[in-house]
Structure formats: C-alpha cells, structure tokens
Amino acid sequence: MRSLLIVEDDPLVRKTLASQLAKKGFDIAVAETGEDGVRAFAEKSPDLVLLDVRLPDIDGLEVLRRIRERDRRAAILVMTAFDDMKTTVEAIKLGAFEYLVKPLNATELDLAIEKAFQVRALEEKVSHLVEERTKEYTIDNIIGRSAPMRGVFKIIGSVANTRTNVLIQGESGTGKELVAKAIHYHSPHRDEPFIVINCSAIQDTLLESELLGHVKGAFTDAVSETKGKFEIAGKGTLFLDEIGDVSANLQSKLLRVIESRDFMKVGGERVLKTEARIIAATNQNLKALIEKGRFREDLYYRLKVVEISLPALRERREDIPDLVAYLLEKIDRELRRNVRKVPPEVMKALTEMPWRGNVRELENALTRAVILAKGDVVLKENLPLEPDERRAFPDDLVSLEEVEKKYVQHVLNAVKGSKTRASQVLGISRPTLDKKIREYGLEVGD
C-alpha cells in the first residue's frame, strides 16, 4: 500500500486530509509539529509527505530540508496558506515536488499526488544528480501570486541551480530582466557578474566586439585590446536582451559560441572558453520570426532549453493590488512624498486598465500620480484613465521636449505639411515653427 505522511498543525485540515486520502486507499500517518514530522519520516519512510509550511515549532521549509537531508529522494508536496515568491522558490529549490496553496483543491491535490508517484517510480529507475545545498536569498522582489506567476517562480526555482540556457519571452515591461536577475541571484554563481547586453541598442559590428572582445588594431577604432562580455561574465550570467533583433551574421556566430563554448576575439587568434550561462529575452514572437526567415531555428532551440513565458499584466489582474502597494513603497523610497493611500475606487480603476506597457507602465503611471498628488492619497484624476488620453502619451516617461517633438511631427503629418495650418493648430508663429522643425529635424511633407 502506498504510504503518506501528513505534517499539519491545523487539526481540522489534518483530519479532513487524513480521512479523504485514507478513503483513496493510502496508508496514512500524521504529525502535528515539525519535529514530529521529521521523526515520523525517519520511522515510517513514507512514499510521500504532505507538508504544511507554517508549523508551530520549526519552519516547514526547515522540515523539508531535514527530510531531504535524510533522504534525497523523498517526495514532498508543500502546502501553504500564503503564497509568495520566496517560499515557492525556496521550497522548489529545496526539492519540494509541488507547491499547493490552501484551501486545497481536491482535484489539484489528487493530480499532484498521482504525478509525484509517477515521478518517484521513474526516479527509482534512473540515477540522478545530487543537488547542491541552497543558501539564502539575495533578491525577492518579483510580485505576483496569480497562477501564471506561481508557475514562473517554480521554473526559477528549478533552473537556478543548473547551467542551462533560458529563454524569457513576454511583452514589454512584464519583468523579463527581473526574472533573469532572479535566476542569477538564486544560482550558485551569484557572486559572479550578471552582464546585460541590449542587442537592439548596439550596431551589429560593435555588438560583435562587445560580445567577443577585440584585439588591438582589429578595426580602425580598436586602439587597445578589450575583453568581451562572454569573457567578463565568467561563470556568471550573460543576459542577451532583445535577442530577436540580432542580425543573421551575428546569430550564426552566437550559435557557434553557444554550441562549442569557445570563441576568438575579433581579429584575434587565441581560442577562449566561456563558462557563462546565457539567458536571452525577447518581446517578439521568435516562432514568427523563424517563419519569416529572420531568426535561426537552431539558435532558437539552443537558447530555449528552458522557456519562461511571462504573462501580460492584464492576464493577471489579481496581482495588481499587491503590485500597486509594492510599487508605491518603491517610489516612496526614491521620491519621499509619502503617498501610499489608494482609495478603493482608484484601486478598482487600476485593476481594470489595459496596461499595454505592463508593470513598467503601471510603475510610470503611479510615479506620475505620486508627483502630482496633493496629500498622501493617489487621486483618480492623476491617473491616465481615459483610454484616449492614455494613448496620447508614450508608455515611458519622457521629457517634455520628446513629447513636443513627436506632437509637432504628428500635427505636420495631419495637415499634410502645411506650415501655415500647423502653426495655427499649434498656436505658435511661423518662425517658431520653423525653428522647431530645424531643431528637432522634423519632416515636412509636400
């Protein structure tokens, strides 16, 4: 008979679970405290443990650690009433098989138990790697308790200790860089560099020498030898942002480096090795780019050994209140305006907006509202709530000059290049308009 140990201090939950699962034919043992749990595990070696995270004596994660120390193959399902990034990642890193949030859903529980047994059966056949012991956290700032974000935390927890390449996809502002950092700072090589390179911001040949480095005299401006990011990253992480924008030429070079793990500096002859973990990110649909022949399929498969898809903010609206609280605190640390209060109707409006620029847009909107606030309350009138007004502004906070430049160009286009009409619409004189056209380098249609 398959045996199951339930470690749970809440008598009601414990009894309900025990009777439900006994009916399903499991041999049940129970423990009320962490110490009892560890002891019961040692005595009974159950096939599976259902473990509560919050226990009266020792922390559930500590119980998890001790059980796994005793038996590295112990199958443990962690249950908790609160769910956050920290416990999820830590539990999965410590080897929990699954993470369930209370109140437990019977089907979800059944599935998790079934899956755990299947995996155990498999594991008994296959020898597996010894996991490294984990240390504490360095960062813990990804907010979200929605189902898709919990999925993301689980993946972070399971890839952190490996060296595999990871591909992060998601719309702009969904937290791709944040996730890349979380993976790095949860990894055993967290003290090595985390190097970001934005592939769309740098011109092709420069990007190549940024990545590989160059020797003196490799090209006109190469006055001295430089190290490339592949070298600088050491055993750390190289974060290739906007990977979808890399040219065909560089794509094939990258593929070579990733496959062979060695490379030469531009103009160099010595073969260097790289040990960096590659995390790539994109807000483009790489599959579509592959179909159009703009991205190499082989490179795509090399990069997406593990894939993380970040949900858009509008797909996880239940996380918005947590995010608002977190972001207001973050903004307050910088601006010191002490604006922390959000009336219910404002919160409601915030959770209903489209947020095409995702968390970054939410952060920008809140920053603006904090700056404009009169007291300590976020006011509805200071949020870009009107759909039309909203779209009139760019998603990023930019200077007035930038907005002016775009708007004058917009008017010029709208009046088909008639400077007379444009100056009337803008309420400025012709010479002023001419000056702006010159200074901003605007285009006047004919």
Ligand X SMILES: Nc1ncnc2c1ncn2[C@@H]1O[C@H](COP(=O)(O)OP(=O)(O)OP(=O)(O)O)[C@@H](O)[C@H]1O
Site for ligand X in 308-347 (CB under 6 A): 323, 326
Q: Which of 174, 187, 209, 237 binds ligand X (CB under 6 A)?
A: 174
Residue 413 binds which one of ligand X, Mg ion, none, with CB within 5 to 8 A depending on kind? none
Determine, following the binding rule CB under 6 A, whether residue 144 of this chain makes contact with ligand X: yes
- 359 vs 179: CA distance, rounded Å: 13
Strand partners, 77: 50, 98
For 279, the token pair is 């995390």
Measured in degrees and rounded to the nearest 5, phi and psi for residue 31 equal -140, 145
Closest to ligand X by CB, 45 vs 141, is 141
CA atoms within 13 A on the CB side of 305: 13
Considering only residues 232 to 291 of the shown chain, the ones binding ligand X according to CB under 6 A are 283
Peptide bond connecting 103 to the previous residue in cis, omega within 30 degrees of 0:
yes
> Which residue in 27, 62, 140, 177 binds Mg ion (CB under 5 A)?
177
Contact region with Mg ion (CB under 5 A), list: 177-185, 258-266, 284-292, 341-349:
177-185
- Taking the least distance from each CB to Mg ion, the nearer of 142 and 346 is 142
Residues 347/321, Cβ–Cβ less than 8 Å:
yes
- Residue 176 makes contact with ligand X by CB under 6 A: yes
What one-letter code names the amino acid at 417? G
Nearest-approach distance from CB 156 to Mg ion, in angstroms? 16
Which CB sits closer to ligand X, 118 or 141?
Answer: 141
Q: Which does 363 bind (CB under 5 to 8 A by kind): ligand X, Mg ion, none?
A: ligand X
**Stretch of residues binding ligand X (CB under 6 A), selected from 36-44, 109-117, 202-210, 358-366:** 358-366
User: Distance between CA atoms of 391 and 64, rounded to whole angstroms?
Assistant: 49
Binding segment for ligand X (CB under 6 A), chosen from 130-138, 156-164, 355-363, 429-437, is 355-363
Is residue 228 a contact residue for ligand X (CB under 6 A)? no
* Separation of alpha carbons 99 and 112, rounded Å: 9
- Which of 178, 264, 349, 373 is close enough to bind ligand X by CB under 6 A? 178
Element (H, E) at 281: strand 277-282
Number of residues that bind Mg ion (CB under 5 A): 1
CA distances from 289 to 35, 133, 187, 199, 357 (A): 55, 40, 31, 16, 22
Q: Answer yes or no whether residue 170 interacts with ligand X by CB under 6 A.
A: yes
75-80/48-52 β-pairing: parallel
Q: Which does 144 bind (CB under 5 to 8 A by kind): Mg ion, ligand X, none?
A: ligand X
Question: Do 437 and 410 form a contact (C-beta atoms < 8 A)?
Answer: no
- Gap between the Cα atoms of 229 and 216, Å rounded: 17
The position carrying tokens 């599976």 is: 48
**Residue 63 vs 312, nearer CB to Mg ion:** 312
Residues 57-116 binding ligand X (CB under 6 A) are none
Residues that bind ligand X (rule: CB under 6 A) add up to a total of 18
Asked if 175 interacts with ligand X (CB under 6 A), we say: yes
Q: Are 252 and 296 in contact (CB under 8 A)?
A: yes
Q: Which listed residue (173, 236, 244, 311) binds ligand X by CB under 6 A?
A: 173
215: left (phi over 0), alpha (psi -120 to 50) or beta: beta
Q: Write out the residues near ligand X by the rule CB under 6 A.
A: 141-144, 170, 172-178, 283, 323, 326, 359-360, 363
Binding site for Mg ion (CB under 5 A): 177
